[in-house]
Structure 1
Amino acid sequence: MNLAQRLARYHRLAAILLLGFASGLPLALTGQAMQAWLTVDGVDIVTIGFLGLVGLPYTFKFLWAPLMDRFEPPWLGRRRGWLLITQLSLAALLLAMSRLTPSATPGLFALTAVAVAFLSASQDVVVDAYRTDVLSDRSEHGLGASVHVFGYRIAMIVSGGIALIWADQWNWPTVYRVMAAIMLVAAVFSALGAPRIASYLKPEATNAAQDLRGFAAMLLAVFVGYWLARGALQLIGFDPADKNKWVELLFVLCEIGVALPLAAWASRVARFETFNRSLSSYFSLPGAGAFLLLIVLYKLGDAFAGSLTTPFLIKGMGFTQAEVGIANKIIGIWLTILGAFVGGALMLRLKLYRGLLVFGVLQLISNLGFYALADLGKGAWGAVMVQPFDWHFVALKEAASLDWLLLTVIAGENISGGMGTVAFVALLMALCNSRFSATHYALLSAFAAVGRIYVSPLAGVLSESLGWPGFFLLSIVLAAPGVLMVWWMRNSIRALIQPAPAPADPD
């Protein structure tokens, strides 16, 4: 690799880092940070709980991703143009939120928050597509994934943790104005600093008005399917307000099971061609269905164990909030970042199949640590005292003890989890066709979220019936099928990293 090629690689990775940061920044601003603002402003807990629904666009972003593949803004090309639009819009809406008072105008505040979540999810779609397209050399997917994870995690620390400290020093409107300024800087970088993409063929031209009508019909079908499922369950005696976890899970599964097939049917009838062709493009891939199953299973054991980590440590093991906060939230986040970097470096040598296999096994083994902690108990390996500190962005007011076994378990889980995430993101990128990378990545990431989102109700029930040691043994069992599927699909995975076709005109 000559000097020009190295500089081009560094330029691509720098862009992925900054765009990963921009992608992660708005998440907490409609989540934890927003909830803190609502609480301080005196909004009642029922309203705060209701506003948790503003994050729904992140789950359904694959529905409008085809429009971002189909339509090209008049400047900067298909990917950078959408980056500029979403980031400028996010900056404007965050500034608008900073001028609102949640307790005085809750309806307007909620609508603005939903709009921020929608634009944030849309930015995620185009960032994922841009990362997939700009890394035309598939050997760079692992390193690019690790850089993206690093930027995303740093942004979550800024908007989800440091923002709370800034709010104590200033106020929440000022914090949101600062976040708006950061998004504006990201937009300037997207316009002037992001590398151009040597793009592959774009989707075949379709009737734009017909695509928009098809998109509207598909959205209508989603809402119709949702209400049909709820109405049918209520008709046979189930109550949607029932707090029983199994009933809640039944409603979720039925709503998805009716809404998505109905949406797929509507997209065909209404001729939403970009969406239909993107699905046909993905399912023409050998082993497409098996890859979807692998995507669901690969992080399932990790998600299952992680869904109740905090209650396990505090209620199950008796650790203090300070111990859990330092070990799991501060040290753990940085160890995840370390794992991502180590995983990215190792992926350059291991390649995709070996990376998925090795890191999958490490994820499985890391769950043994939680089993050991549940079985041996607090203090089995002694403890170390952490003295008070103040790093401005985070502080510990009083000395606290940290359990050595807890630290070891957290270290193993976060480092292996970071490695597994890098390999997993590289797999998703490798499965995307450049014509439809926005749609494909959004669809695949939706499948990837299945385990994380829908495993929690089951985890709560099973932890009570099995006990904590049995619960973590079950998480190991659930992790095994994903590892076995990697081995079973080894030839298909190796085929994904064959040299890609030569790029067409620049984006």
Structure 2
Amino acid sequence: MAQAVAGQTKRSAWKVLGLALSNRKTGFMLLFGFAQGLPPALFLGTLYAWLSEADVDLETMGVFSLVGLAYAFQFLWSPLLDRVDIPGVRRLGKRKQWIAPMQLIVGIALVVMSTLNPATSLGWFSLLAAIGAFASATQDIGINAWRIDVADEVATLDILSTITQMGFRLASLVGGAIGLILAEKNGWPWVYVMFGFVMLAIGIAGLFAPDARVSDDTAATAAASDAEVAELYEVGEVTPKIRNRALLAVGILWGWAIITVVVFMVRSMTSTPELRPDVTLFTTTYGPLIVLATIVLPAFIAAWVVKQKRDGKNVIAAHEAGAAIEPPTVTFTDHLYRALVLPLVEFVSRMGWSLVLVLALVLTYRITDSVWGVFAYPFYLGELGYTGEDVAFASKILGIFAILIGLALGGWLITLLGRMFMLTLGAIVAAATNLLYADLAEGGALMQAASDAIGFTWLVNSVANGLSFLFFTSAPPSEGLARLSFTIFWENFAIGIAGAAYIAWLSSIVAKKYAAVQFALLASLTLLIGTLGRGALGEMIEVRGYTYVFILTALIGVIAVVLCIAEWVRVVRLGKDAGVVAPDTSELAAEPAETPQTA
């Protein structure tokens, strides 16, 4: 009997996976994931290689790192994507009206950049890079919300989350390693114009993707929006006085954060090199403060609003909202409250005390790989003495393929074993791979032995020799390349498995109605602990060495494992699908409707 059940589970899982992969939403998700990964590779990665060839000085290059702030603080304008329609393109759909134009802007920016010489037109070059990065970060908000909106029983949220990660990583490989190779043969302008047209093509193709619908009638859209806000005046809702207090407090916090970022960017772009503020110092100092002001403190304010409502204090009474009273006049502050505060209130109200567990998991899940990431190259190049070519091969080529394999396996196992099982497994393997680096820091004897035992050393040397022959270089593989590649491969493989489950879980806990804001806020929290801990970690490396730090981060990863188990228990108690057995899809074989489920 057990074997029969297991067989049915496997068949059901394969059927679910097959139906999902044949669905057009999955194809567009891969396309959108690629569109998410390509711009960061071009604006934050290979761009520096082009600037170096153009003899742009390092201090000026530091200004270009400012474009990364668009990705770090994209949640600051995420409320616009949930509540604002773009005139003239709202018929495309609630999310596509933001996605497609942003992709076209990125494409145009790349094409125009290809016509400029960064050595002589640095001002225009930096402006285009900033515009492109802002548009790219905005499309990311829209795509993350689109994924949540269109997920259904066939194109499941788990599969779509895995596919978007695969597209992103594939774009990182194409825009990074392959971009460098193409630039060697054809020059940087050719590379950027080619990728610019790729983004333009994706923007045009995305017009045909399914989407959450937006009313064709402007008046009807406005009336629907007013009706949603009018619900704030129903019996039992908090009074306008309480709402305005919460809005004022959150508005001040968000206003300070936005002004801080804008002032820093203006100072950086207009100051002389000797007076230019340090980007890294700003990120590590003000980054956590901005997250505190825009996420943590507003969450406490939202909790206060929820408590007022649940305790029946400062709420609208029946006689104040009786049928005899005229419908309320919707004000601008009502719409602002709806866009800025209500997503937090909804999340706090729905999660309750479980929010503490959720936030703790968000803060710690990726700590094992994110906190030490900035020290990776100093470790490889300085501590271990590898060459840049060795690191590029192991990290940028083999490592990307390892992530893709991990994502593919993780996506299939989510379908078979469930989201929460894979979320927990991902935390375990991500923590364990830090122990591989601990051995590498001590010489890598175990890594070398394991690599030799499974034939990995032979494979790495064969591929490295093949690439040397292909690109007409005579340098043989380094003596320790196999153990470096072995360690990086398994770490990235673990990142792929953990990433597939994490994005799927993160997408599952937000409300479709507020997907853009809630997902952007939670995603930004993922980087908080890494940002806070890097200063202390750098000092610890100096005092204790890399081996100690890798063992410590592995132990810290155990915290995420415990939190995953606690979250798994919470999900099971709520009666949600913890994902032990894949659902029966026998009745889903027909082509599903493309209209997404309502929130």
> For the superposition of Structure 1 and Structure 2, which TM-score range results when normalised by the shorter chain?
0.7 to 0.9
Counterpart position of 1:407: 485
What is the alpha-carbon distance in structure 1 between the residues aligned to residue 296 and residue 562 of structure 2?
29
Q: Residue 90 of structure 1 contacts residue 120 of structure 1 at CA under 8 Å; is this kept in 2?
A: yes
Q: Residue 225 of structure 1 contacts residue 262 of structure 1 at CA under 8 Å; is this kept in 2?
A: no
Instruction: Evaluate the alpha carbon distance shift between residue 392 and residue 275 of structure 1 in structure 2; reply closer, same or farther with a 3 A threshold.
Output: farther
Counterpart position of 1:476: 554
Counterpart position of 1:78: 94
What is the alpha-carbon distance in structure 1 between the residues aligned to residue 294 and residue 426 of structure 2?
35
2:238 aligned with 1:173: no
2:221 aligned with 1:154: no
TM-score (normalizing by structure 2) = 0.72
Amino acid at match of 1:371: A
Q: 1:218: Cα distance to partner?
A: 7.0
Amino acid at match of 1:439: V
Q: 1:152: Cα distance to partner?
A: 0.7
The superposition leaves residues 112-146 of structure 1 with CA deviations (integer Å, 9 ceiling, x where unpaired) of: 21111110000111111111122133993332222
Counterpart position of 1:195: 210
What is the alpha-carbon distance in structure 1 between the residues aligned to residue 471 and residue 153 of structure 2?
39
Amino acid at match of 1:277: L
The superposition leaves residues 66-123 of structure 1 with CA deviations (integer Å, 9 ceiling, x where unpaired) of: 1111123422210122222111222222222223332223222222211111100001
What is the alpha-carbon distance in structure 2 between the residues aligned to residue 165 and residue 403 of structure 1?
21
The superposition leaves residues 287-339 of structure 1 with CA deviations (integer Å, 9 ceiling, x where unpaired) of: 12321221110111222344423322332223333332222221111011100
Choose the corresponding residue for 1:425, options 495, 503, 518.
503
What is the alpha-carbon distance in structure 2 between the residues aligned to residue 167 and residue 380 of structure 1?
34
What is the alpha-carbon distance in structure 2 between the residues aligned to residue 350 and residue 417 of structure 1?
18
Choose the corresponding residue for 1:145, options 141, 155, 161.
161
2:199 aligned with 1:183: yes
Q: 1:279: Cα distance to partner?
A: 1.4
Q: 1:180: Cα distance to partner?
A: 1.5
The superposition leaves residues 413-451 of structure 1 with CA deviations (integer Å, 9 ceiling, x where unpaired) of: 111111000110011110121111111111111111224
What is the alpha-carbon distance in structure 1 between the residues aligned to residue 84 and residue 282 of structure 2?
41
Amino acid at match of 1:445: A
Counterpart position of 1:342: 409
Unaligned runs of 5+ in 1: 208-212, 230-239
SS at match of 1:143: helix
Q: 1:262: Cα distance to partner?
A: 8.6
The within-5 A match list for 1:78-477 is: 78-137=94-153, 140-192=156-208, 194-197=209-212, 205=228, 220-224=255-259, 249-250=284-285, 252-254=287-289, 256-257=291-292, 271-286=336-351, 287-377=354-444, 381=449, 384=458, 385-386=461-462, 388-390=465-467, 397-401=474-478, 402-477=480-555
Instruction: Evaluate the alpha carbon distance shift between residue 247 and residue 331 of structure 1 in structure 2; reply closer, same or farther with a 3 A threshold.
Output: closer
What is the alpha-carbon distance in structure 2 between the residues aligned to residue 356 and residue 123 of structure 1?
26
Instruction: Evaluate the alpha carbon distance shift between residue 120 and residue 241 of structure 1 in structure 2; reply closer, same or farther with a 3 A threshold.
Output: closer
What is the alpha-carbon distance in structure 2 between the residues aligned to residue 206 and residue 105 of structure 1?
48
SS at match of 1:285: helix
Amino acid at match of 1:107: G
Q: Residue 20 of structure 2 contacts residue 155 of structure 2 at CA under 8 Å; is this kept in 1?
A: no
Greater displacement, 429-438 / 490-499: 490-499
Instruction: Evaluate the alpha carbon distance shift between residue 368 and residue 8 of structure 1 in structure 2; reply closer, same or farther with a 3 A threshold.
Output: closer
Instruction: Evaluate the alpha carbon distance shift between residue 221 and residue 450 of structure 1 in structure 2; reply closer, same or farther with a 3 A threshold.
Output: same
The superposition leaves residues 125-173 of structure 1 with CA deviations (integer Å, 9 ceiling, x where unpaired) of: 1111111122133993332222111111111111122222222222322
Q: Residue 217 of structure 1 contacts residue 270 of structure 1 at CA under 8 Å; is this kept in 2?
A: no
Amino acid at match of 2:366: K
Q: 1:345: Cα distance to partner?
A: 0.5
SS at match of 1:371: helix
Q: 1:340: Cα distance to partner?
A: 0.6
Q: How many residues align?
A: 487
Instruction: Evaluate the alpha carbon distance shift between residue 506 and residue 291 of structure 1 in structure 2; reply closer, same or farther with a 3 A threshold.
Output: closer
Amino acid at match of 1:276: V
Greater displacement, 298-307 / 438-447: 298-307
Instruction: Evaluate the alpha carbon distance shift between residue 34 and residue 41 of structure 1 in structure 2; reply closer, same or farther with a 3 A threshold.
Output: same
Q: 1:42: Cα distance to partner?
A: 2.3
What is the alpha-carbon distance in structure 2 between the residues aligned to residue 39 and residue 437 of structure 1?
40
Unaligned runs of 5+ in 2: 1-11, 215-220, 231-246, 265-274, 302-331, 579-592
Amino acid at match of 1:195: P
Q: Residue 141 of structure 1 contacts residue 429 of structure 1 at CA under 8 Å; is this kept in 2?
A: yes
Greater displacement, 269-278 / 385-394: 385-394
Greater displacement, 365-374 / 428-437: 365-374
Which is greater in Rg? 2
SS at match of 1:20: helix
What is the alpha-carbon distance in structure 2 between the residues aligned to residue 262 and residue 224 of structure 1?
17
Counterpart position of 2:314: none
Amino acid at match of 2:182: W
Counterpart position of 1:47: 60
Root-mean-square deviation (CA, aligned residues, Å) is: 3.9
What is the alpha-carbon distance in structure 1 between the residues aligned to residue 597 and residue 567 of structure 2?
34
What is the alpha-carbon distance in structure 2 between the residues aligned to residue 11 and residue 349 of structure 1?
22
Counterpart position of 1:22: 35
Amino acid at match of 1:135: A
